[in-house]
Structure 1
């Protein structure tokens, strides 16, 4: 397949996904293979929460809409224009995927295929349905993908390189096990937001999206706030009040009750609005339903610290505080050229040729 043929196939997948909105579905008669996949995909969305309690229809649909927006010919061509794509004998790339948010491994899957290689996918037990469905759709509209995609339930075997995503603990295992193969090994990372006190109510509301989307389970979710000394959290709590329905999801509510109880039994000082606790803490990784915060007195000192800790951070959110920071509300809307851990996956894959 040529690069253009693969771009067109993924763009057609994007068109298929564009039929499924956050609050409705609209069948498009012009979409290829819709009679085979449209109704089944709706059923899969509705059943996702039975496979993973965190994968509510709303969260799954958000992921679908995000990928529908990303998978356009224009975006794909812009992304790939930075690389020199050539025909070569495909290498088999093992993908060990995470399952913390819906379709979290899709970008790796896309990158492997667009680089001209084969994807050997080991799915997370928490997300076993969505990616295989989209792979079947791709093969239906472009049968030549059938020889480039494989899924395995067992041990990865007969591969040339690997991209593995896991915790800091599993990363040590990955680094040892795949020590003789070209590899990208991803570890735990967290995202932070920097407030100055000059944020608008709208920006603070959008920060709620960065905190609560996917119930805070993603590495791109904000888990810590840096605030100036003496910061008053009143406006922050008022701005995020519309996200309060999150407490009606049982799994989130159970985490809220448990983590709050642990904090209180440990005599930690908390601020609490009934669905989120915030706690002063030096750590970057806060538990579900909680966000840590830390005061800063000097902007330059904070910038130096964040630069030193860049290997621990996925996203920095601010209104221009840092040169490369992400605007409020945008952490879960990465572009195709926004790479996890700031490691260029496509460049890595192209070096395998």
Structure 2
């Protein structure tokens, strides 16, 4: 199977996904194999929410929309054209996927297959409804993918390389068991927003998308603010008010109430607005419904700290304060070349022999 064949299949998958939107699903008659898969995909979206209460239908559809937007022939070709992927010696890549947000393992999935390799995917039970169904659609479009894709719940065997995503604790386990083969092992990371006090209300409202999308469970979700001394949070809280209905979600509200009680019993100083708490803390991984914050005195001091802590950080969000930072509101819309942990997975896969 040539690279162009693989790109064509994924672009057809993109056309299929374009039918499922937060504004309402719309069946398009020209989509290939649609009669066989449209209704089933609608059911899978509901199943994803049924099996994982954090996966609201809106968040599942948002994730699907992001993939639909980038699975085009042009974007796929531009992504992989800088690599040499026309080899004829496919290897088997074991991929252990996280389950924190919908379709979180899809980038690894597409990376392995576009690179010409075979995938054995071990999904998290928190996110095991969607990807296997999309794989079935992919095989229906390009039957040769059938021998390249497999899913397992058993112990992984017979593979040539590993891509594993998990917590800091599971990373030690992964390193022990998979350290003898080529591997990418990812650990906990979080994202940070830098504020100066000069941001517009529109920018701060956009930042709410980075904070609240997926309830803040993604590694690209903002979990910490870096603020100047004397920062006034009134403007910040006002700009975030449009997201106040997040507290109506029972799981989020339970976490809010629990964490607030813990903080108050521990006599921590808090700022809160009824649906988000702010706590001064040097850590990056804040609990659900909480943002940590830390102050800085100068850009040089800030840059030095972020450089020292770069292995803990997935994204930095700012108004061009830091080089290569992400714009407000764009963390959950990554490009194909926005690699987790900054590791070029296509380059890694192209060297597996």
- TM-score range (shorter-chain normalised) is over 0.9
Tell me, in whole angstroms, the C-alpha distance in 2 between the residues paired with 1:291 and 1:7.
Answer: 40
Aligned residues: 353
The match for 1:301 is 301
TM-score of the two chains, using structure 1 as the length reference: 0.99
Using the TM superposition, give the Cα deviation of residue 47 of structure 1 relative to its aligned residue in structure 2, in angstroms: 2.5
Once the two structures are superposed, the pairs formed by residues 171-320 of structure 1 within 5 Å of their partners are 171-320=171-320
After superposition, the C-alpha distances for 1:49-99 in whole angstroms (9 at most, x for unaligned) are 111110110000000000000101111011012211222211000000000
The match for 1:84 is 84
Once the two structures are superposed, the pairs formed by residues 1-353 of structure 1 within 5 Å of their partners are 1-353=1-353
Tell me, in whole angstroms, the C-alpha distance in 2 between the residues paired with 1:167 and 1:88.
Answer: 35
Contact 2:223/2:284 (CA < 8 Å) preserved in 1? Answer: yes
TM-score of the two chains, using structure 2 as the length reference: 0.99
- Matched position secondary structure for 2:125: coil
Tell me, in whole angstroms, the C-alpha distance in 1 between the residues paired with 2:29 and 2:176.
Answer: 50
Contact 2:94/2:119 (CA < 8 Å) preserved in 1? Answer: yes
After superposition, the C-alpha distances for 1:290-329 in whole angstroms (9 at most, x for unaligned) are 0001111111111011011111100000000001100000
Tell me, in whole angstroms, the C-alpha distance in 1 between the residues paired with 2:347 and 2:217.
Answer: 28
Contact 2:17/2:64 (CA < 8 Å) preserved in 1? Answer: yes
Using the TM superposition, give the Cα deviation of residue 39 of structure 1 relative to its aligned residue in structure 2, in angstroms: 0.9
**Unaligned runs of at least 5 residues, structure 1:** none
- Matched position secondary structure for 2:295: strand
Tell me, in whole angstroms, the C-alpha distance in 2 between the residues paired with 1:20 and 1:98.
Answer: 23
Tell me, in whole angstroms, the C-alpha distance in 1 between the residues paired with 2:85 and 2:177.
Answer: 30
CA-based RMSD of the aligned residues comes to 0.7
Tell me, in whole angstroms, the C-alpha distance in 2 between the residues paired with 1:285 and 1:87.
Answer: 41
Tell me, in whole angstroms, the C-alpha distance in 1 between the residues paired with 2:47 and 2:338.
Answer: 30
- Matched position secondary structure for 1:58: helix
- Matched position secondary structure for 1:145: helix
- Matched position secondary structure for 1:9: helix
Using the TM superposition, give the Cα deviation of residue 352 of structure 1 relative to its aligned residue in structure 2, in angstroms: 0.4
**Unaligned runs of at least 5 residues, structure 2:** none
Tell me, in whole angstroms, the C-alpha distance in 1 between the residues paired with 2:88 and 2:352.
Answer: 10
Tell me, in whole angstroms, the C-alpha distance in 2 between the residues paired with 1:120 and 1:48.
Answer: 21
Tell me, in whole angstroms, the C-alpha distance in 2 between the residues paired with 1:252 and 1:8.
Answer: 40
Contact 2:47/2:129 (CA < 8 Å) preserved in 1? Answer: no
After superposition, the C-alpha distances for 1:7-26 in whole angstroms (9 at most, x for unaligned) are 11000000000011112011
- Matched position secondary structure for 1:283: coil
Using the TM superposition, give the Cα deviation of residue 238 of structure 1 relative to its aligned residue in structure 2, in angstroms: 0.6
Q: Which moved more, 1:41-50 or 1:227-236?
A: 41-50
